[in-house]
Amino acid sequence: MLLFSALILGAALKADEEQAALLQRKHAVDDEAASAKEAAEKPAAASDAAAAKGRAQVLVMVSDHGSGTSNLEKALGTHPCMFSLGETFGTKLLWSKGKDPAECTPGRGGEFVLFDADSGNFNPGSVPPIEKEIAGSIEDCLSNNLGKDRSPIDSAHSLFPGLQYNLADYYVRVRDLVCKGVPADVCPPSDCTISVKMFPAHVDGKAVEQFTKADVATECTRKKNEKAMEAWKKELGNLKQNPKIATLKVTRNERDRQFSTFHRFGIDPEFDCSFPRPPSSFATASKAYADVEIQNENCWADAPGAEKCLRDALQLVNLSAESKGFLQAATELVLVPRGGGGAGAAQRA
């Protein structure tokens, strides 16, 4: 009888232990589900902030005249969060320039240079025309994207006080000024992005163009390019080191690129298509610094090629190509005008 009672008690205790274990497992599952629900219900802003942390906000197209960057940048500019400014400097409005080498005869001048490449010193006298140019570019960009009735920017003067000899810093300042004028219902502030072009001419460099086999660079051009190459690599390095900058190297068959400039400016009477041209020294040097490189002929080949180029560019700044209506319209802009090398393609300057 005593043995029988012990067996019954043991069975009851075992049942209680199993029940307790079952309840413990149930509580663990419930806690896990509650944690998952809590994480899912966190404000979207927290997720957005995490995604934006460290996001590049400036897309720099490293290229040269005649490479077909205009079509690509125009296409990217149809994205609601991409604001395309094109060239923020030019052949007369330079980011930097050093003293002309002894091999060069004195030029006509007329250039406005923001920084002396030899000393790194800032030239305040060049601010007014450069400020006017960038202010006009920003106004045009915002008007094209937001409409003519938008509020104008106060001034571009805020770009220059305390500016150091660092092109990446300047581009970030430009981005902040542009995005200050973009309403949050058009593009969330954390996603607002600009694209700009960086060409050798902005640091007083010039790709040696050989329209015919007889064309050779002058000693002056060679010496100037040696100095410009130092500034080119310096600024490419600054871009690479800045987490707010992404660099897209845009290349094109060099013969066709040179024909594009020949066709566009029409100064020389003849262009010899019979021989290939190697990439310029500036294009070759930029390979070591670019985040992504695209060959424009691949973008122009067909719709899938155009879409890939657009996606690759947007991925650098963490923007989605699936934004409503973007991809189809942008692809059409990349592909127009169609055609290969030669005069038809030259329009893609």
Main-chain phi, psi angles of 247, to 5 degrees: -115, 130
Domain layout of the chain by residue ranges: 56-346
Given pLDDT bands bounded at 50, 70 and 90, which one contains residue 26? very low
Contact yes or no for 58/244 (Cβ under 8 A): yes
What's the token pair of residue 298?
């691949």
Tell me the average pLDDT across 192-217. Answer: 93
Q: What is the DSSP string of 203-270?
A: GT------SSTT----HHHHHHHHHHHHHHHHHHHHHHH-TTEEEEEEE--HHHHHHHHHHHH--SS-
pLDDT computed for residue 46 by the predictor = 29
Report the percent of the chain where pLDDT is more than 90.
65
Q: pLDDT tens, 129-172?
A: 999 999 999 999 998 888 866 666 767 889 999 999 999 999 99
Contact yes or no for 334/51 (Cβ under 8 A): no
Residue 338, Cβ density class (10 Å: 0-12 exposed, 13-18 middle, ≥19 buried): exposed
pLDDT score of 342 more than 50: no
Q: 48 to each of 42, 206, 291, how far by Cα in Å?
A: 11, 42, 24
pLDDT computed for residue 37 by the predictor = 37
- CATH fold of 56-346: Rossmann fold (3.40.50)
pLDDT computed for residue 337 by the predictor = 63
Q: pLDDT tens, 79-124?
A: 999 999 999 998 899 999 999 999 998 876 789 999 999 999 999 9
User: 3-class DSSP state for residue 90?
Assistant: coil
pLDDT score of 345 more than 70: no
pLDDT computed for residue 147 by the predictor = 82
